[in-house]
Amino acid sequence: MLSDPINLASLFVLGSIGWLTYKILIWPFFVSPLRKIPGPPPDSLIYGNVKALLSGEADGFVEPQFKWYKKYGNIVKYYGIFNKPAVFVADPKIIQEITLSKSYDFIKPYSNNKPAIALLGKGLVFAEGDVHKRQRKMMNPAFSHSNIKGMVPDFIRVTNTLIDLIKKELSQGNSNVNLTPYISKTTLDIIGLVGFSYEFNSLTSPNELAVAYDGVFNTTPDMLHATIIMLSSYISFVRHIPFGVNLRYKEACDVIHRESQKLIDAKYKEAESGDLKSKDLLSLLINNNKTLPEEEKLTYDELRNQIMTFLVAGHETTSVTTSWALYLLAHHPHYQDLLREELVKAYPDKSKFNPTYDEIHSLEFLNCVLKETLRIATPAIQKSAEIWGPTAEEFDPSRWLDPALMKKINNYNYLPFLNGARGCIGNKVASAEAKIMLAMLIMNFVFKPIEGFQIRRRAFPTPKVDPYLGLDVSIVKS
């Protein structure tokens, strides 16, 4: 009688070993349809090439993907958790097919990540196929030129608070400033206002939703945390194991869901009484939704999910971009000076800096700085010497003033916001916000590297400054 349970346990153990052996050692190398694509060998049976991707870069902006691309070609196979093969593509023609002509044929790998969907919902980032088409079509009017123009005063107001806080720190004798929390809170406060008329005020006071959001998205993951994040896309229950990292994550998620529910309910209540007059993105979506035929409307849950879409896409990306722009300008003082000269010429009295949307986009060198930051701070094809010349791996905003180079640039070799149906719907919002923040910071402060302080570029989950953006900051003399 006892032998049956023992035999069953033995079979289960042997079966598990056999299954793991097949998944880790046999399928990736001998069965997978990707097996003949060139690429780096796995560094580990468990982590594949993940550790290389997580390690960050100490040598400028030369990430592992770019090194692989130069060594193995435009299509590279690498290995994820448990040696699962994945493909990195840097071929413009294939990118055109993926992003434009067959964009809905290529399902995003994170679209079935249950823990992520449980937090973020199937908003525009996670939606696929016809659901994405419907959401995108319905949301496009909210991102019209006239609506984005109306956001500029909020960009300026919040950034003025940032300027005052940095000046206060300098007045206290702290010239070596950790700018990461300042910039992150600034972009969070801005997206709160323009996204759904919500006053985070995280720059000046504690806020439960801001703290919860920060705990989920702005914590630098160690190897255990990173492993849990990636494992959860394969085995969803991993996120439910009750220990430190997961418990903190669950608590933060509960706060985010509760506060998001309050936001959407308040907006719905205003809309029902006809009092929803705000011009924030969520209000525009709700009012537009009321006018649509039933089959084109977003559901209550879909509208609520857009709150997290705005928070993640609208806050994180701009924060990272602005941070890298300051880092690069600090390490290239000549370009920082050129940008400041342009800004001072356009706005001699910085206390009266109040540009319109069109005026901020008319500043030529500011445009060059942002474009070059977006080029060099994202992987691979945007650093190809074939397109960008022998200085492709260097930060050089002036390259954008070269007419010969501009003839080579298109939406398939320069795509910081992607393109096609899955292109970033908020790219104009992000660009205007980043330009306002950069302009105001450069007009008010001089940024230099801190001697002996090394900054790396973290690759996962977003390409953030690691450990933080520490710079030597001083007041611009009039």
DSSP 244: H
Q: Which residue has the tokens 């910039």?
A: 183
Annotated binding site for heme: 424
Cβ 8 vs Cβ 1: under 8 Å: no
Write the single-letter amino acid at 210: A
How far is Cα 351 from Cα 163, in angstroms, rounded to an integer?
A: 11
The answer for 273, left when phi > 0, alpha when psi is -120 to 50, beta otherwise, is alpha
CA angle 326, 330, 334 (to 5 degrees): 115
Which residues have CB under 8 Å from 70's CB, separation 6+? Answer: none
Give the length of the chain: 478
Q: Which of 203, 222, 223 is nearest to 214 (CA)?
A: 203
Strands 176-178 and 470-475: antiparallel
87 strand-pairing partners: 77
If you search the block for the tokens 């570029």, which residue do you land on?
457
Q: Distance between alpha carbon 227 and the CA centroid of its chain, in Å?
A: 20
Region for residue 59 given its phi and psi (left: phi exceeds 0; alpha: psi -120 to 50; beta: otherwise): beta
Q: How many CB atoms lie within 10 A of CB 14?
A: 10
Angle, CA of 203, 206 and 211, to the nearest 5°: 95
| CB contact at 8 A, 198 and 308 | no
